[in-house]
């Protein structure tokens, strides 16, 4: 084994051992903020889709939020639908194309504020779709306002002294609600705050899509994603802040797996 | 197909399915409820799906999803329900998803809603307003054809009378020009190809295949609607050549007016009728020609004055244009009122003629 000298500069450029860009992304570039968790979560979804052999057999229905810009880079058939309506649009498409994996990509503002009716009714009908929720407890795209998922005490631009349950209401824990309904097949909550949570979340996403392939019903994979800009914390502090705030209201783990109980 | 006695709603559903409708999602509201009921009954027998949506908003967005997948899809309600669908109708226009929206209206108060719309953006909505069931079963087919041809939302504007009157009807299979394959449909197969498909109101395209971006995209959409307006305006007229009085009405009102005008012609009155079949594009040039030389242009509509704006925009001397309609409901508030009556219409036309000559 040759010894790499560290006392002088390398003689040849170093090579990346592997590209980390998923095949289903047209470019690694994105315009989201430093420290954002969404690109990591989206990368996981695309990797899982490819792994499961669904690359030429899936359609994404994308909501409105920062992640929406990935409609320009994700190399899958996509539509960016009206705010909150992704599970409805997915329902129409899935009912007509039952053999295509149909998945939604929504933020917590999109799913729990604007689109609560759509996700709950899609679950009630047991629509065989996979819903990916990127939960950062804030409207990131508009610059940091309260969503229905903002946690108690969370400072946003319209809860300046922190979310107060008596004034702003309580956060909606959508994962638990969906899990409680008979139409859901799989509900889990992951996170992307460190390497271990990223690896674990990948498995949750995989199970979510598998339940759809098995035609078991609706799967919801909620992923806690860092939004340091929307939380007004330094980019490097997003991960710790997230687990101290959102992490306590939204504990990680599988909430329901219909296949495990069979 | 032999003539059958059918509810208007049933015949419209049969015609839509014959035209290839495979997905419907709706929410019950009088008088559009029967449309949903017949859809629920019949679509599953034609490889189709009918979903009882939780809201009109959910229903129309489901239809958008099915249409994005390449299938002929529709939603429907009355004007009150279409009010909730406005955002999605605009979205369909701006992201070029062909859908049909059935408005089985309670009255004629949805003219502005259909022709001006309540969504955002520079969009228009082709609106077909049949005068009776015979025309309605053709329009139910034409609506899907036009929607696919131009990748636009199309409104089918019916009413209570059309929805709930039983008529002996044939279901003629309209011969329409063949349309190209939907190479834009989201069937999920193009992932990883580098040229995956996209349906998006902002028209930005993808990294590998950039689109024009929002400003140029929306300009192109607006230009498309201008082109539609040039060629798709439809109308019906009668006795206009020597008419001193031209009566303009749409939908069921047009049928009533046509009847009254024929009666008055038989009695020697120089009256003609003009009926826009497409409320948008409004047949303005045809109305301008038909009203040429008239002493007065009377507008009969069961509302406080909506279509009259378009009539005034197209009759050269707008001072000749007079309203002879008005707000008129039955006691329920859900149905056409006593003004939709041949005798009353004739009185109002005669009053306008005689009043002017006094």
Range with the poorest average pLDDT among A135-139, B180-184, B262-266, B353-357: B353-357
* Residue of B62, B189, B202 with shortest CB distance to A91: B62
Q: Describe the strand order of the beta sheet including B100-105 as a list of residue ranges.
A: B49-52, B21-26, B72-77, B100-105, B154-159, B126-128, B278-280
**Interface-testing mutation among B196, B200, B207, with chain A (most A C-beta atoms within 10 A):** B196
Give the Cα separation of A113 and A122 in Å (integer): 16
pLDDT reported for residue A261:
65
- Per cent of chain A over pLDDT 90 is 90
- Per cent of chain A over pLDDT 70 is 95
For A220, phi then psi, to 5°, come to -125, 120
Q: Is the pLDDT of residue B357 over 60?
A: no
Give the Cα separation of A161 and B358 in Å (integer): 75
Residues of A in contact with B70 (CB under 8 A): 96
Least Cα distance to B297 among B281, B280, B276, B279 occurs for B276
What's the mean pLDDT in A164-192?
A: 98
* Residue of B23, B88, B190 with shortest CB distance to A77: B190
What's the mean pLDDT in A84-93?
A: 98
Contact A88 B62 (CB under 8 A): yes
Q: What is the mean pLDDT of chain B?
A: 97
For the segment B194-219, what is each residue's pLDDT rounded down to a tens digit?
999 999 999 999 999 999 999 999 99
Residues of B in contact with A50 (CB under 8 A): 192
Give the Cα separation of B237 and B294 in Å (integer): 14
Residues of B in contact with A85 (CB under 8 A): 57-58, 61, 88
Give the Cα separation of B94 and B210 in Å (integer): 17
β-pairing verdict for B278-280 and B126-128: antiparallel
* Residue of B88, B191, B204 with shortest CB distance to A76: B191
Evaluate whether A54 touches A86 at the Cβ level (below 8 Å): no
Q: How many domains would you assign to chain A?
A: 1
- Residue A103 distance to chain B (closest CA, Å): 11
Please work out, in degrees rounded to the nearest 5, the angle formed at the alpha carbon of residue B298 by the alpha carbons of B294 and B304: 155
**How far is CA A78 from each of CA A61, A125, A221, A234, rounded to the nearest angstrom?**
6, 23, 19, 33
**Which residues contact residue B118 at a Cβ distance below 8 angstroms, ignoring those fewer than 6 apart?**
B83, B86, B90
Contact A76 B65 (CB under 8 A): no
Contact B206 A26 (CB under 8 A): yes
Q: What residue spans of chain A are helical by DSSP H?
A: 38-51, 86-96, 108, 116-124, 165-168, 174-179, 195-213, 228-231, 238-244, 246-249
Residue A163 lies in a domain: yes
For the segment A149-168, what is each residue's pLDDT rounded down to a tens digit?
999 999 999 999 999 999 99
Contact A76 B192 (CB under 8 A): yes
- Residue B96 distance to chain A (closest CA, Å): 11
pLDDT band at A242 (very low <50, low <70, confident <90, very high): very high
What's the mean pLDDT in B118-132?
A: 97
For the segment B20-72, what is each residue's pLDDT rounded down to a tens digit?
999 999 999 999 999 999 999 999 999 999 999 999 999 999 999 999 999 99
**Interface-testing mutation among A47, A61, A87, A93, with chain B (most B C-beta atoms within 10 A):** A93
pLDDT band at B10 (very low <50, low <70, confident <90, very high): very high
* Count of helix runs (H) and strand runs (E) in chain A: 10, 7
pLDDT reported for residue A186:
98
Range with the poorest average pLDDT among A28-32, A203-207, B301-305: A28-32
pLDDT band at A175 (very low <50, low <70, confident <90, very high): very high
Scan for tokens 């008529």, then name that residue: B167
Residue B159, classed as helix, strand or coil, is strand
Q: Give the burial class of B164: count Cβ atoms within 10 A of its Cβ; 0-12 exposed, 13-18 middle, 19 or more buried.
A: middle
Q: Is the pLDDT of residue B273 over 90?
A: yes
pLDDT reported for residue A7:
84
Q: Which domain holds residue A99?
A: 38-257
Give the Cα separation of B237 and B250 in Å (integer): 11
pLDDT reported for residue B95:
98
Contact A89 B68 (CB under 8 A): yes
What's the mean pLDDT in A1-12?
A: 72
pLDDT reported for residue A6:
77
Q: Is the pLDDT of residue B262 over 60?
A: yes
Please tell me which residue of chain A has the smallest CA distance to B48. Answer: A96
pLDDT reported for residue A18:
65
Q: Is the pLDDT of residue A1 over 70?
A: no
Contact B51 A95 (CB under 8 A): yes
The CATH number linked to A193 is 3.40.50.970
pLDDT band at B103 (very low <50, low <70, confident <90, very high): very high
pLDDT band at A211 (very low <50, low <70, confident <90, very high): very high
Which domains are present in chain B?
4-169 (3.40.50.970), 235-357 (3.40.50.920)
Residues of A in contact with B202 (CB under 8 A): 80
- Residue A239 distance to chain B (closest CA, Å): 30
**Interface-testing mutation among B25, B192, B207, with chain A (most A C-beta atoms within 10 A):** B192
Beta bridge partners of A62: A80, A105
Please work out, in degrees rounded to the nearest 5, the angle formed at the alpha carbon of residue B280 by the alpha carbons of B279 and B285: 90
* Residue of B23, B191, B201 with shortest CB distance to A77: B191
pLDDT band at B1 (very low <50, low <70, confident <90, very high): low
Burial A14-24 (b: 16+ CB within 10 A, else e): eeeeeeeebeb
pLDDT band at B355 (very low <50, low <70, confident <90, very high): confident
Q: Is the pLDDT of residue B358 over 60?
A: no
Q: Can you list the positions of beta strands (E) in B98-181?
A: 100-105, 126-128, 154-159, 166-169
Residue A249 lies in a domain: yes
Evaluate whether B191 touches A76 at the Cβ level (below 8 Å): yes
pLDDT band at B2 (very low <50, low <70, confident <90, very high): confident
Measured CB to CB, residues of chain A less than 8 Å from chain B are 23-24, 26-27, 49-50, 54-59, 61, 71-82, 85, 88-97, 100-102, 117-118, 121, 125
Between B56-68 and B79-95, two packed helices, what is the crossing angle to 10 degrees?
A: 30
What's the mean pLDDT in B134-160?
A: 98
- Residue A190 distance to chain B (closest CA, Å): 26
Residue A135 lies in a domain: yes
Q: Is the pLDDT of residue A84 over 80?
A: yes
Q: What is the mean pLDDT of chain A?
A: 95
- What is the four-CA torsion angle of B250, B251, B255, B258, rounded to 10 degrees? 10
Q: Is the pLDDT of residue A20 over 90?
A: no
pLDDT reported for residue A262:
62
Contact A56 B25 (CB under 8 A): no
Structure ipTM over 0.95, yes or no: yes
pLDDT band at B226 (very low <50, low <70, confident <90, very high): very high
- Residue A245 distance to chain B (closest CA, Å): 33
Contact A75 B61 (CB under 8 A): no
């Amino acid at each position: 084994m040759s010894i790499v000298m560290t006392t002088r500069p390398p003689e040849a450029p170093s090579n990346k051992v592997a590209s980390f860009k998923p095949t289903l992304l047209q470019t690694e570039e994105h315009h989201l903020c430093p420290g954002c968790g969404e690109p990591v979560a989206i990368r996981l979804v695309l990797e899982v889709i490819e792994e499961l052999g669904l690359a030429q057999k899936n359609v994404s229905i994308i909501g409105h939020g920062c992640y929406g810009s990935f409609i320009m880079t994700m190399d899958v058939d996509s539509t960016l639908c009206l705010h909150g309506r992704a599970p409805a649009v997915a329902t129409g498409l899935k009912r007509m194309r039952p053999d295509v994996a149909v998945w939604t990509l929504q933020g917590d503002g999109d799913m729990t504020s604007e689109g609560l009716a759509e996700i709950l009714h899609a679950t009630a009908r047991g629509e065989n779709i996979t819903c990916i929720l990127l939960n950062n407890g804030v409207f990131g795209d508009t610059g940091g306002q309260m969503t229905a998922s903002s946690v108690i005490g969370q400072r946003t631009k319209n809860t300046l002294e922190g979310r107060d349950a008596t004034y702003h209401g309580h956060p909606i824990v959508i994962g638990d609600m969906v899990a409680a309904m008979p139409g859901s097949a799989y509900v889990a909550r992951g996170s992307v705050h460190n390497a271990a949570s990223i690896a674990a979340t990948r498995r949750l996403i995989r199970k979510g899509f598998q339940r759809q392939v098995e035609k078991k019903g609706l799967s919801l994979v909620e992923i806690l994603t860092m939004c340091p800009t929307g939380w007004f914390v330094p980019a490097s502090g997003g991960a710790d802040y997230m687990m101290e705030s959102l992490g306590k209201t939204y504990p990680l783990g599988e909430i329901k797996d219909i296949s495990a109980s069979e | 197909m032999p003539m059958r006695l059918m509810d208007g709603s049933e015949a419209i559903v049969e015609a839509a399915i014959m035209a290839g409708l495979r997905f419907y999602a709706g929410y019950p509201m009088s008088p559009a409820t029967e449309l949903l009921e017949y859809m629920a009954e019949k679509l599953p027998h034609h490889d189709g799906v009918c979903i009882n949506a939780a809201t009109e908003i959910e229903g129309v967005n489901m239809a958008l999803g099915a249409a994005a997948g390449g299938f002929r899809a529709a939603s429907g309600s009355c004007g009150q329900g279409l009010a909730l669908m406005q955002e999605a109708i605009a979205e369909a226009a701006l992201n070029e998803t062909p859908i049909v929206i059935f408005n089985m209206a309670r009255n004629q108060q949805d003219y502005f809603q259909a022709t001006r719309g309540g969504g955002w953006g520079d969009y228009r909505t082709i609106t077909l307003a049949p005068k009776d069931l015979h025309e309605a079963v053709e329009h139910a087919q034409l609506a899907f054809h036009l929607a696919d041809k131009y990748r636009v939302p199309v409104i089918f504007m019916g009413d209570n009378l059309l929805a709930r009157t039983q008529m002996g009807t044939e279901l003629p299979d309209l011969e329409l020009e063949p349309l190209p394959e939907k190479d834009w449909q989201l069937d999920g197969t193009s992932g990883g190809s580098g040229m995956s498909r996209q349906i998006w109101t902002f028209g930005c395209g993808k990294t590998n295949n950039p689109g024009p971006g929002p400003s140029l995209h929306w300009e192109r959409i607006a230009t498309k609607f201008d082109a539609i307006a040039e060629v798709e305006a439809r109308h019906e007229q009668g006795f206009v050549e020597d008419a001193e009085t031209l009566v303009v009405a749409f939908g069921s009102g047009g049928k009533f007016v046509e009847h009254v005008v024929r009666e008055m012609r038989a009695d020697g009155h120089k009256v003609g009728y003009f009926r826009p079949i497409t409320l948008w594009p409004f047949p303005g040039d045809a109305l301008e020609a038909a009203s040429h030389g008239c002493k007065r242009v009377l507008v009969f509509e069961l509302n406080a004055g909506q279509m009259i704006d378009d009539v005034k925009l197209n009759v050269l001397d707008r001072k000749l244009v007079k309203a002879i309609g008005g707000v008129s409901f039955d006691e329920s508030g859900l149905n056409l009122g006593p003004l939709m009556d041949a005798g009353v219409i004739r009185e109002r036309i005669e009053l306008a003629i005689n009043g002017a000559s006094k």
